[in-house]
Amino acid sequence: MEQGIAKGGLKRANDAKLHLGIAYLAAGDNAKALSVLKTVTGQDGTSDLARLWTLLARQK
């Protein structure tokens, strides 16, 4: 996932970053999850979801 995001050219890069952050969280790496989730922006709801996942990551 990291390589695909770094390569660029994604139509929905924010979705990819959101899923990467969720994957890090599921793997137990809260620090990486928080750093990725902070980079999610957008007007389609992805930034809202990233904020919610960030709250969950901070609780663990």
CATH number for the domain harbouring residue 29: 1.20.58
Which is more confident, 24 or 42?
24
Query: Which amino acid is located at 50 in the chain?
Result: A
pLDDT at 5 over 90: yes
pLDDT at 35 over 90: yes
Containing structural domain, residue 26: 2-59
Q: Give residue 42's pLDDT band: very low, low, confident or very high (50, 70, 90).
A: confident
Task: Write out the two tokens for 28.
Answer: 């137990």
Task: Write out the two tokens for 22.
Answer: 């969720």
Task: Write out the two tokens for 32.
Answer: 């990486």
Please state the domain count of the chain: 1
Task: Write out the two tokens for 25.
Answer: 């969280």
CA atoms of 26 and 30, how far apart (whole Å) = 9
Predicted local distance difference test score (pLDDT) of residue 29: 95
**Alpha-carbon distances, residue 26 vs 22, 31, 37, 43 (angstroms):** 6, 12, 13, 25
